[in-house]
Every structure is written in C-alpha cells, then in structure tokens.
Amino acid sequence: MATRQGAAVLVYILMIMFGVSSWVDINGLWVELPIMVQELPEGWNLPSYIVVLTQLANIGPVIYSLLCSNRVSEKLVIYFIIGIGALTCLLLVFFWQTTTIVAGAPHSTAMFILNFILALVDCTSTVVFFPFMATFKPVYMSAYFSGEGLGGLLSGLLGLAQGAGRIVCLNVTEYVNATINTTESLEAVTTMRAIYEDNNFSFEVYFAIISGIIVMSGVAFTFLAFHPLCKEEHVQQTHKQTKKTSQERDSQASMELPADQRKCQIELTGYERKHPDEPVGIDIKNDTDGIKTSVVSEEGSTNMKDKTCDVKATTGTEYIISLLLTGWVNCLRNSALLAVQSYSCLPYGVTQYHLAVTLANLANPLACFFDLFIHVTSVPALSSLTLLGSLLGVYIMAAAVMSPVPVLVGTLAGSILIVSVWVVCVFILTYVKVSLASLFRAEGKKGLLHCGVATQVGSAIGGVSMFVFVNILNLFKTVDPCS
C-alpha cells in the first residue's frame, strides 16, 4: 500500500465531472422506475427489459474494440458519446410515454429504443474513456472512478429530491359481488395497498436535469483535452520539458531496464521538478516494497523528493487473474446484485430499501476517493478483497432467494444487517474495481482497453444470467411492501 498525493485540485475536479457522464443516464432510468411502472404498459416487468437492452448494448464496445479503436480519433468518439447521451435524455423528455401496438399489445417502443441508445453509448464509454485516462498521470484514475460513482449518487439524490417511489400504505375498501343463499349482494372488503405519492417534479424535469449534467461533463472533457493547465498533467508533458541531452541519456538508460521499471521512470520523471527546463536523472532500485525511484537534477540537487513507484512487475499469470477479477467484480456490482436489490431489501421495508440504494450509491464514490490515499497493488490482496465482497454478495443473493421471508425479517437487527451488508459490499467491490484499473493503467492504453472489455463482458454475463433466473426460472418472488 502507498499513499498517493500531488494531483492538481482543479484537474482532479474536472476529471470527476468527466467521469459523471459515463453512467448517470442509465442510473437515472433505474431511479425513475417507480414512476415509469405506473405509466407504461409493461408495469413491473419493465426492469427486466432494461437489463436485457443494457446487456445487448455491449455490442457497442465489441464493435469499437475490433474495428474502430485504432482508426478513429479518441477525442471525437468521446464527444460523440457525450453528445448522443445528452440528446437522448432530451428525447426521453418528449417521447418516454409513447407506445405502439406490437403483437396485439401496447409496448413502450420509444422508451426501449432510447434506453438501448443510452446503454450503447454508456457501454462503449468504458472502452473509450479508460484508454483516454492513459494520457494522464496514474493518480487521476481514482478521480475518474469517483466521477463514475458520483453519477449514480447524483441520480439517486435527484430522485430523493423528486420523491420518486414514495409509498404510503393505506386501507382501501372495495365492494365485490357475494352470493349468500342464492342471493347476490355487494360485500365490502378492506385491504392494505401501496399508494404512490405525488412527485415534487416530473419525469420530464428529471431527465432535462440529467441532460444538463451530461453537457457539463462535456465541458469538463473539453478542458481536460485542450486546456494548458490540464495538459501539464499529461504523462507525455514531462518529457517535452527536458533538455535533449538529458532525454537521450535517460532514454538509453531506460532501455536497459525491465519493463516495470521503465513504467516507473515514465510516470515519475518530472513530478518534483521545480523548473521546466531543469534536466533530471533517474536512479531506480528494487526492494521489497516495490521500485524506489529517485529523481535528481544533473547537478545532484537534493531539493527534489524521492518517489516510490507503486507499480510492481506484473506477470502474465497475474495479468490474466486481474482480467478475471475485473470481469467478476463488475458481474456482481453492475448486474447480478443490482437485479436482486429490490428482492433482498423490500421484505424489510420500503425505508430500508431506499436506505440501501442511497447509501450504496454514496459508498461508490467514497471507495474511489479512498483509493487516492490507500492503494492496493498486490494481486493476491485484491483477490482476497474480491472474495470478501463476494461472500457479502452471497448473503444478499440468499436474502433475495428467500424473499418474501428472508432471515431476521421484521426485526431491527435484520434491517440494519441488510443495509450494512449492501453498503460494505458495494464499497469493497468498487475499491477492488478501481485498484484493478490502476494496475491496467500501468500497462498503458492497451491495458486499459483490456480492462474496459473485461468490465463489459463481466457485466453482460451477469445481466443475461440474472434475466434467466428472474424472468424464466422465476427464482425470486416480489413482496408487497404493505403486507
């Protein structure tokens, strides 16, 4: 573990704003589900459609990775992704309730088409935004993931302000036909039903705000790509500022180093340089803590601090294990657990469900920010954390399978336990996800592209599997929140 500091605050904030655009719109759709199920003909079958469409959209990153990654301008593709996302959210404002008759029944075709477009650009953003991050110093990976998590938190907080999904349990009296001694009469039957309260503002206003947030992310990306202050945080910038003789000397020396040490030299050169024209030398030594890299001036000045590179040599086996861990973590975090969140939490109450959703969304960016200070680079350690997060996921899945009567249902201890497990599980899985991405960051753009592909493949496998379990095998049963 190592403490990582030194990021320019403004660039860090811009990176967070940029990361928000990656999934804020799809997260917004999930937040608005309680409103959509009341208005659209699919009702509570709508979530399964969203999951399937989101996973079908993984064709986007596949096409980009195979055909476009080396042929199309990366910045142009990012502008396209952000622009289409903002435009599609605006179209949702006007057409989300539009239905057409398909196979003799009304269906939300406009919602499905726009949902697929949003999922397409969001899935593709993973394999485009990640390689773009290789342009910047490694410390900014945690900023990007903080923004990605913040997108989920913002959409959730906006939903709370809207009051989406607020339920009141009321006694409703209905009159039904009853036959007594061949005489028909009306009999009053009183039942407890969940009634949705009026929202503070509409679905249309919600997605207009989401569209505005995505536009702000586009502005942040423009600064990151073109502003001189942001370019100073590019990895390549440090090399352009050194004198030619120093460049040739360091280049020749670095070619004699192992690959992992050359990565450290590239990342650390110029970090502590006080004058842009001051030539530097690199002194790299191996020890049990990693690779120690001292940056000193040609004159032997000691006014520069020693830096510790937290990137260790990654073997082929560790690289494959890291890819598998990335796929598994995203399978759980992005698909499997999300699909059963309502089944695992609603039996304990509506309040507990909303607490689990909101606090889990808060745990996401907090885990990314935590990675900025304590960063795990050991593959065995990350494997252990993944195992711990998976065990917590097993508890969540077991509670969902036992719905509507999971363990400790109806007790304060059960409510506290399910909310706590959700928050800790999301925190751990998100932390592992960010740490793994930082390992791939050390491999350059190719490593981050592989990380993005593993992320989407894992998410797709989880989504398809859960669709089978939920909609075909019917392993999970809904619960009446007022029962």
pLDDT for the residue 180: 61
**What gap in Å lies between CA 136 and CA 346, rounded to an integer?**
43
**What gap in Å lies between CA 46 and CA 470, rounded to an integer?**
12
Cβ partners under 8 Å of residue 345, min gap 6 = 352, 353, 356, 357, 418, 419, 422
Three-state DSSP class for residue 187: strand
| Mean pLDDT of the region 366-390 | 86
- Looking at residue 348, the DSSP 8-state letter turns out to be G
| Mean pLDDT of the region 331-342 | 85
Q: Of 94 and 263, which is predicted with more confidence?
A: 94
**What gap in Å lies between CA 440 and CA 434, rounded to an integer?**
10
Three-state DSSP class for residue 41: coil
- Looking at residue 2, the DSSP 8-state letter turns out to be B
Whether residue 114 has pLDDT greater than 90: yes
Q: How confident is the model at residue 413 (pLDDT cuts 50, 70, 90)?
A: very high
* H-assigned helices in 163-284: 203-226, 228-231, 237-240, 244-254, 259-268
CA angle 335, 199, 110 (to 5 degrees): 55
Whether residue 392 has pLDDT greater than 90: yes
pTM score of the predicted model: 0.69
165: left (phi over 0), alpha (psi -120 to 50) or beta: left
pLDDT for the residue 178: 64
Three-state DSSP class for residue 49: helix
CA angle 470, 392, 347 (to 5 degrees): 50
Q: Of 168 and 430, which is predicted with more confidence?
A: 430
Q: How confident is the model at residue 483 (pLDDT cuts 50, 70, 90)?
A: low
**What gap in Å lies between CA 12 and CA 21, rounded to an integer?**
15
Q: Which domains, from first to last, does the chain contain? A: 1-164+199-226 (1.20.1250.20), 167-196 (no CATH), 235-309 (no CATH), 315-483 (no CATH)
Q: Give the containing element (helix H, strand E) for 156.
A: helix 140-162
Q: Of 169 and 456, which is predicted with more confidence?
A: 456
pLDDT for the residue 176: 65
Q: Does 404 sit behind a cis peptide bond, omega within 30 degrees of 0 on the bond before it?
A: yes
- Residue carrying structure tokens 């509507």: 404
pLDDT for the residue 258: 42
pLDDT for the residue 79: 95
**What gap in Å lies between CA 263 and CA 265, rounded to an integer?**
5
| Mean pLDDT of the region 86-108 | 91
